Amino acid sequence: MMRLLTHDDDGKLVLHDFDDDHLPPYAILSHTWDQDNSKEVTFQDLTGGIAECKAGYVKLRFCERQARADGLQYFWIDTCCINKYSDPELSEAINSMFRWYQMSDKCYVYLTDVPSSKHNESGCGSLDWGDTIWNSRWFKRGWTLQELIAPSVVEFYSADGSLLGDKSSLGATLHEITGISTKALRGCPLFNFSTDERFSWATGRQTKRPEDRAYSLLGIFDVSMPLIYGEGEAKASRRLRKLVDKPRTLVLSALPQARGAAFDSHADENEPRCHSDTRTDILQDIAQWAEAPDGKCIYWLYGAAGTGKSTVSRTVAHNFETQGRLSASFFFKRGEGDRSNASMFFSTIAAQLAIKLPGMVSPIASALEAEPGITEKAMETQCDKLILQPLSLLWLSSPAERYQAIIVIDALDECKGDTHVQTILGLLSRLRAVKGIDMRIFVTSRPELPIRLGFGRIDIDVHKDVALHEVPEHIIDHDLRIVLASGLEHVREQHSIPPCWPGQDKLESLVRITRPLFIHAATVCRYVSDTFLGSPEDLLESILQPQGNSSFSDLGATYRPVLHQLTARYPKSHHATVLQKFRLIVGTIVTLFNPLPKPAIAILLRLSISQVSGVLDYLHSVLRVPNDETLPVQLFHLSFRDFLVDQEYCGKDFWINEEAAHARIADCCIGIMSAESGLRENICALDYPGKPRSEINGATIDTSLSVELQYACCYWTNHLQRSGHSIRDDGDVHGFLQKHLLHLLEAMSLLGRISEAIGMVAKLHSLLDTNQSIQCSALLDDAKRFILAYRAVIDLAPLQVYVMLVFVPKNSTLQRAFGSQIPHWIKQVYGIQSKWTSQIQILEGHSSSVYTIAYSPDGNQLASGSDGGTVRIWDSATGRLTLTLGGHSDYVGAIAYSPDGKQLVSGSVDGTVSIWNVTIGTLQRTIEAYSNSVEAIFYSPDGTQVILGSDDMTIQIWEVRTGTLLQTREGHSDWVGTIAYSLDGKQVASGSGGDTVVQIWDVLTGMLQLTLKGGCKVMAFDYSSDGKRVALGLRDQTVQIWDVATGMLQQTLKGGHVDHISAINFSPDGEKIVSGSWDYAVRIWDVSTGVLLQTHEGHSGSVVTVVFSLDGKQVVSGSQDDETVRIWDIESSTLHQTSGKGPVRSLAYSPDGKEVVSGWGDGTVWIWDMATGAPQFMFDGHDGPVWALAYSQNGKQVASGSHDQKVLIWCVTMGSLLCTLEGHSGSVYAITFSPDGKQLVSGSGDKTLRIWDVARGILQGTLEGHSDSVRAIAYSPNGTQVVSGSDDMTVRIWDVATGTWRLGR
C-alpha cells in the first residue's frame, strides 16, 4: 500500500491510499529534513489539520505546484505520507522506498541550502550555485543514494524553487560529488556493479539513526529485511551483507569449480610470465585484437610443446586482469584431476563470470533453481543455461550498455577427450552471437588434429589463428637470450658469482641449444640454481658438454644432465637401488591422474617421507616440490613426462614403464581403500541416514577421507585399466568389491562424484577374464543396475546407499553379498522382486511426446526426437544427456545417424530437415524439403545421401554435402511413414500409413522393383541386416516378414499386441524382431518360428519407436505419451515375467507336470516349459478373457473357455487349433476332459453344462438345473458322472448317460 497526496475541490491537501498494482502517475519529493524535526509536517499533522502551521508545509506546496505543472495530480513526501508511529508501516515503507522512487514519473530534489540568484537562457539557474551545491547536506545523506539512482527523471531545485538542472545535465557534477558511477546515474541496472562498488557509494554518508546507514541501502541491492531499530549499525550492516551476498554465495557453492584452473591460482602462483622485453610483438598483436571493434571472437595461439604458450597465456591473463577486463580463465593441465577434463569447464567459467559480471548472478541462480542437476548435464546445456542465456539477459536488462567479456583458455590440448575438445570449441563459438556482448576468447594449444578439426568446423570469420612456433628465428633467439640472461643474473646475485659469469659465448651457446623451446631455457636456469646438486658453474658446464649424437633441441639435452645427478654421487654398486627408487617415486608422480602432496605419495607407496624427499631433492629443476607439504608435487612441464615414458629418448636407466607403474599404483590404491583406516560404513560419522550431502561440512569430508584415500577412490579403476591386468573371481579386485563396493559408493557420493561410478563399473567390466570371472561379472552387472536405479538418491544423501539395498532383488548377487548391511531399523519390506526387471533405465528430459529414437553406429549414443521440436543425445551407458539440438518449429518425427556416427539428420512436421554435427552439437545444414511434414528419414550406407518420406506421398533423395535434391519419387497413395536403404545401398523400401503396401525401388534407375501387399495399413517396416527380408508392422496388430527377392510372405507374427503396431526393428543378427504398439507394450519375436519371446511393459503411453542395440542385448523404446525413453535388458528378461496383455485369468498343469498353460485377459493362451520357463506355444483365437483351461489326460490337447462364449480345443504337439465348440450363450467359466479324453464338459454363465464329442466337435447334450452361473466342474474317475458348482450356492452331481442330476446341495 502507498499513500499519496493530492488536493480536494477546496484546494486542501488530502491523503489517498492505493494498492501497488493500481498506482496513478505521481511525483515524489526528495529533500533534507530540518535539523529540528518538529518543523516537518508529519502524518499526524496532516490528518489532524495542523499541517499548515508547520514550517515544512512550504515543501508540500512546492511539490504540489511542480506536480501540477507537470500534469501530475498525485505526489508523495516521506515526512507525511508514512505513519512513522506504526512499526509495520514504517518497515514496509523503507523496504518499498527504492521501488516507489523508481516508479515515480518525476522526482524533485529540493535543496533548501542551495540558493539561486539568476537564470540562464534555458530557464535553469546559473552556475552561481556551483560551489554551494558541493556542500549541500542532501548529498551527504544515506537515503540520497536510492533517491538519486532509482528515478529515471530527477530535477534539482534551489531554495527559491528555481530549476538548477536534472540528472542528465548535471551528470558529471553528480558523479564528482557522490562518487556514483555515471553508468548507474544513467540507469544502468545496479546488478552490473559489484557489491563492493555499491557499498563504496555509501562511504561517509550520514543518517540520523545509525541503523539507517544499512537500511538506506536495501533498494540499492534489491533486498528486503526486517527493521530492528536499536540493534546498532554494525549488526544491521552484517545482516545486510549476509543477505546481499547470499545469491552469489549460493551460485558459487552450487557451481563445481576445477581447483587451480584460474590463471592466478595459488597452485600456479610461481609460474613465470613473459619478461617485459620478450614476446613483445605477439603480446601487442593480442592487445590490438582485444581492442579492435571488428576483432574476431577467438584468438588461437598454437605451437609445439615447450614453445612458451602457457607463459604467454599467463601474461595475457595478467595484463587483462590488471586492466580490469579479464572475465574468466581456465588453464587445462594433463594429469591434474578436474583441470584435465571438460566436466567442470563451463561451471568454472560461469562461476568466474558471476564474480566479474554481477548481473549474471541472478539468471544463473534462476537456472540452478530450475534445474538443480544442471552441472551434471551435457556441456551444451551447461553452456546454454549457465553462460549464454545469462549473458543475453545481461544485455536485455540494459540494451544501451556495451559489455566486453574476455576469457583466457590455456593448453586446450591437455583436456581429455577429443570430442570434448571439439564440443568446447563449438560451444564457445556460439558466444559471439550474444547481443550487446563483445566476446573475446584467447585459446592456446598444441596444433593437434582434434583441435584443428574443431576450428575447421567453425567459420573462419570467428577465429584468428597464430602459430607461435613460426615466429622468426631471430626473434626467438632474442627472447631466449633475455630469458637466459635474466635467469642467470638472478643465480649470479644469489650466489655471489662474479659479474662476468657466464660470459657472452656461453650465453650464446645456451641460446643455440635451447632454441626454440622456452621450457628448456627455464629448466636450465632452475637446474643451475639448485646448489644441492653442485655449484652453478659446474652445473652449467654439465649442460654445455656435448651429449653424443643427441640434438640439443630435443628433450634429452635438457633432462639427461638433471637425471644423471641422481646417480653421480653414488658408486655404481648403488645405482640399481637408486634407479629403482626413482622409478617407484617419480614413475608414480608422472603417472598420477591428479598430483598429490609429498606425504600422500609416501603413504600411497608405503614409504617414509624422507625416502620420497631423498629422490625429489635432486629434481627441483623439473618438479615443483613445495615447502608447504599440503600442496601437490607437480611437473614443471609435461615434456618431462613425455621424455621419461619414451625408452628410445630416455634410455633404459630412467625409463618409466607406464603399464607397470599403473599396475603398482592400482595395487596401492586398493590397499589404501581396504586398510583399517580406509573405507567403511558411515565414514564421516553422520548423525542420521538421510543427511543431505549439501549439509555436510567440507572439512568433515576432508578429515574423514584423507587426500590419498580420496585419490584412490576416484582413480583406482583408471590405473587398473592401464595396467594390462585382467580381473578374475576371488582375486584382489573381486575381494575388494565383495567387501567394500557400497563403502566406495558412499565415498564417491561424499565427494560429489557418484555419477563417475557408472564409468568405473564399465572399466572393470572391460577387464574381466571371460572364462574365470563369472561371480565378479554378476556382481558388476548388479552394481551397474543398482547405480543406474538409485544414483540420484545416493547423490543426495550418501548413507542412502545402504537403505536402497532393500529394493535390490532378493536373488541378486548384490543382495546376497551386502544384504546384512541393510539398516537394522528396516524390519521387513514386501513386494521386492526376486530378480532384476528387464528395464535398465528411464531417460527423462523431454518436455513432450517422444516420436523417434536411434542408436549411433558405435552404440555409445542414443538420439531421441520429440514433440518439442528438439533432438536429445544421450550416453547409452550412463543415461546422461550430452546434447540438446533445437531448431525445428514442430515435432521431430524421424532421425537417423550417418554411418560414421558424426552426423545426425532430423526431420520434422514443419517440413524441414536438419543435418547436425553431433560431435560439437552444431547445425551444419537445413534443407527446406517439404511443405508437408517429414515422416521418415534414412542415410544411405555410404553416408552421402539421405532419403525422406513425407505426408505428400512422395520420396526424396538429397545429397548431404551440397543439400541438393537428387530424385523425387511418387507411387504411394497415402503418407510415406517408413523408409529404409538396403544394406548394399542399391535398393530403397518405402511404406505408407494408408495404402497397405511396401514398395521396393532401384536407387540408380528409380524403377519400382517389387510391391509387398500387407493387406492392412502399414505402420512400420524394417530391413533385415542382410537385406534379404523386410518386416512390416500392420494396423491389424500383426507383423509380416517378406522375402525381398521373391516377394513371398514368409511369416506372420500375431497373437501378442492388442492395438496398432507402430514400430519394428530387426535384431543385428536378423533372428529376432522387436515391435512397439499403441497397447504400450514392447514385444520380441523369434523370426524363424514366429513365437513371441518376451513382452516388456512399463510405458504409460503408445510406443512409437523401438530399436535394438548393436550387440542385440538391449532394446530401446520411446513413447509419445509418457515422454520417456526406456532401455530394456533382453538377455535377463524371461517371458513369464510379462506375457499376454491383461491379467492371468486361468492356469493348468499338463498331466506330466512338465508344462503349464495360462489364459490371459487379452484372449491368448500360452504354454510354457516348466524347466526353462521358456514359452512353447502361444494360441490366439478368443475374443475375450480366457476363464477356463484343461489338459486332456494324454497331454496332447488343451481346451480353453472364454468370455466370448466359445470353447477351443488346441493340439499341443502341433501348436494348432483343432476345433471350435459353440453353443453357450454366456461366458465359459469351467471345462474338463473326460478320463478317456473322448468327451469334454463345459460350464457357463448361461447356467448350463454342455457335453461335447471331442473328435467330431459336436454337442452331445445340455445339462440344465442351476439357477446361476456354473463356476466349477469335474468328472468322476470312471467317467460316468460330472459334478458342478454354481453361483446359486449348490453343488450338483449329474449322470452323464441320462443327463439328469441325482443330488444337489
Average pLDDT for the chain: 84
Q: Cell numbers of 147, please?
A: 533517491
Collapsing DSSP to helix, strand or coil, 828 comes out as coil
pLDDT above 90: residue 733? yes
Return the top range by mean pLDDT from 404-418, 667-681, 1080-1094, 1253-1267: 667-681
Q: 565: part of which helix (H) or strand (E)? A: helix 555-568
* CA–CA gap between residue 826 and residue 819 (Å, rounded): 12
| CA dist 712 → 336, 600, 672, 816, 828 (Å) | 14, 11, 7, 26, 36
pLDDT above 60: residue 1115? yes
Cβ–Cβ under 8 Å, residues 824 and 835: no
Collapsing DSSP to helix, strand or coil, 599 comes out as helix
Higher pLDDT, 775 or 129: 775
β partners of residue 141:
206
pTM of the model: 0.58
Q: Give the per-residue pLDDT at 788.
A: 85
Residue 1078, classified by CB atoms within 10 Å of its CB into exposed (0-12), middle (13-18) or buried (19+), is buried
Collapsing DSSP to helix, strand or coil, 466 comes out as strand
* CA–CA gap between residue 321 and residue 347 (Å, rounded): 20
Spell out the residues 6+ positions from residue 783 whose beta carbon is closer than 8 angstroms to its own. 737, 741, 761, 814
Q: Cell numbers of 180, please?
A: 556514483
* CA–CA gap between residue 1292 and residue 1274 (Å, rounded): 11
Spell out the residues 6+ positions from residue 1072 whose beta carbon is closer than 8 angstroms to its own. 1066, 1084, 1085, 1086, 1087, 1093, 1108, 1112
Spell out the residues 6+ positions from residue 794 whose beta carbon is closer than 8 angstroms to its own. 745, 746, 749, 754, 787, 800, 801, 804
Q: Give the per-residue pLDDT at 116.
A: 66
Q: Give the per-residue pLDDT at 289.
A: 95
Q: What is the pLDDT of residues 932-946, one digit of tens each?
A: 777 778 888 888 888
Q: Which of 425-429, 482-486, 547-551, 1221-1225 has the lowest mean pLDDT?
A: 547-551
pLDDT above 50: residue 1305? no
Higher pLDDT, 543 or 328: 328
For residues 1097-1129, one letter each, b for 16 or more C-beta atoms within 10 angstroms of the residue's C-beta and e for the rest, the string is bbbebbbbbbbbbeebebbbbbbbbbbbbbbbb
* CA–CA gap between residue 266 and residue 919 (Å, rounded): 34
Collapsing DSSP to helix, strand or coil, 1230 comes out as strand
User: Quick check: bond before 502 cis, omega within 30?
Assistant: yes
**How many residues would you count in the chain?**
1305
Concatenated DSSP letters of 782-820: HHHHHHHHHHHHHHH-TTHHHHGGGGS-TTSHHHHHHGG
Q: Give the per-residue pLDDT at 1123.
A: 66
Q: Give the per-residue pLDDT at 400.
A: 60
Q: What is the pLDDT of residues 1030-1075, one digit of tens each?
A: 888 887 888 888 887 777 888 888 878 888 888 888 888 888 999 9
Residue 431, classified by CB atoms within 10 Å of its CB into exposed (0-12), middle (13-18) or buried (19+), is buried
* CA–CA gap between residue 419 and residue 319 (Å, rounded): 32
The pLDDT-based confidence of 1138 (bands split at 50, 70, 90) is very low
The number of beta carbons lying within 10 Å of the beta carbon of residue 641 is 19
Q: Give the per-residue pLDDT at 297.
A: 94
Concatenated DSSP letters of 954-1000: EEEEEETTTTEEEEEEE--SS-EEEEEE-TTSSEEEEEESSS-EEEE
- Going through 60-100 in order, the beta strands assigned E by DSSP cover 74-76
Q: Cell numbers of 262, please?
A: 584460474
Q: What is the pLDDT of residues 888-923, one digit of tens each?
A: 888 887 888 888 888 888 888 888 888 888 876 778
* CA–CA gap between residue 704 and residue 684 (Å, rounded): 6
Higher pLDDT, 295 or 378: 295
* CA–CA gap between residue 217 and residue 205 (Å, rounded): 11
Q: Give the per-residue pLDDT at 1137.
A: 32
User: Quick check: bond before 516 cis, omega within 30?
Assistant: yes
| CA dist 156 → 139, 149, 186, 1080 (Å) | 12, 14, 16, 73
Per DSSP, 1010 falls in state E
Higher pLDDT, 883 or 211: 211
Q: Give the per-residue pLDDT at 914.
A: 87
Q: Give the per-residue pLDDT at 433.
A: 83
* CA–CA gap between residue 450 and residue 902 (Å, rounded): 13
| CA dist 99 → 15, 94, 641, 1022 (Å) | 20, 10, 61, 64
Collapsing DSSP to helix, strand or coil, 279 comes out as coil
Cβ–Cβ under 8 Å, residues 428 and 388: no
Helices (H), 569-621: 572-591, 598-604, 609-616
Q: Give the per-residue pLDDT at 286.
A: 95
Q: Give the per-residue pLDDT at 475.
A: 81
pLDDT above 80: residue 365? yes
Q: Give the per-residue pLDDT at 712.
A: 95
**Chain centre to alpha carbon of residue 565:** 49
* CA–CA gap between residue 890 and residue 413 (Å, rounded): 39
The pLDDT-based confidence of 560 (bands split at 50, 70, 90) is confident
Q: Cell numbers of 331, please?
A: 588453464
Q: How many Cα neighbours within 13 Å face the side chain of 844?
A: 9
Phi and psi based region of residue 845 (left: phi greater than 0; alpha: psi -120 to 50; beta: remaining)? left
Percent of the chain at pLDDT > 90 equals 28
Higher pLDDT, 970 or 691: 691
Q: Which candidate, 101, 51, 54, places its Cα nearest to that of 75?
A: 101
Q: Which candidate, 259, 262, 202, places its Cα nearest to that of 233?
A: 202
Cβ–Cβ under 8 Å, residues 1014 and 1040: yes
Higher pLDDT, 121 or 669: 669
Q: What is the CA radius of gyration of the chain?
A: 41
Q: Give the per-residue pLDDT at 1176.
A: 73
**Chain centre to alpha carbon of residue 408:** 24
Percent of the chain at pLDDT > 70 equals 92
Cβ–Cβ under 8 Å, residues 1283 and 1293: yes
